[in-house]
Amino acid sequence: MTKRAYNFNAGPAALPLEVLEQAKEQLTDYKGIGMSVMEISHRSKEYEEINQTAQDLFAELLNLPAGYKVLFLQGGASSQFAMIPMNLLTEGKTAHYVLSGSWAKKAIHEAKAIGNTVIAAEPEQFTKVPDLSGLNLGDDAAYLHLTSNETIEGIQYDSFPDTGNVPLVADMSSDFLCRPLDVSAFDLLYAGAQKNLGPSGVTVVIMKEDLLTNIPADLPTMFRYDTHVKANSLYNTPPVFSVYMVRLVLEWVKNNGGLAAMEQRNKEKTDLIYDVIDQSNGFYRGTVEEASRSIMNIPFRLQTEDLEQQFLEQATRNGFIGLKGHRSVGGLRASTYNAVPRESCQALADFMQQFMKDNG
Higher pLDDT, 269 or 2: 269
Mean pLDDT value across residues 155-172: 97
- Rounded-to-integer distance, Cα 53 and Cα 17, Å: 21
Residue 306 backbone dihedrals phi, psi, to 5 degrees? -65, -40
Is residue 332 classed exposed, middle or buried when 0-12, 13-18 and 19+ CB atoms within 10 A define those classes? buried
Over the stretch 270-327, which tens digit does the pLDDT of each residue have? 999 999 999 999 999 999 999 999 999 999 999 999 999 999 999 999 999 999 999 9
Beta-carbon contacts of 327 under 8 Å, excluding residues fewer than 6 positions away, are none
CATH node for 258-359 = 3.90.1150.10
* Number of other residues whose CB lies within 10 A of the CB of residue 90: 12
Percent of the chain with pLDDT over 90: 97
CATH 3.40.640.10 fits 17-255, yes or no: yes
Q: What is the pLDDT of residue 103?
A: 97
Whether pLDDT at 219 is above 60: yes
Write down the domain spans for the chain.
Answer: 17-255, 258-359
Average pLDDT over residues 104-126: 96
CA distance 313 to 254: 37
Active site residues per annotation = 103, 171, 195
94, 117 in Cβ contact below 8 A?
yes
Q: Note the pTM of the prediction, 2 decimals.
A: 0.97
Residue 185 has pLDDT above 70, yes or no: yes
The predicted pLDDT at position 1 comes to: 54
Chain segment 55-82, per-residue pLDDT in tens: 999 999 999 999 999 999 999 999 999 9
Residue 298 identity (one-letter amino acid):
I
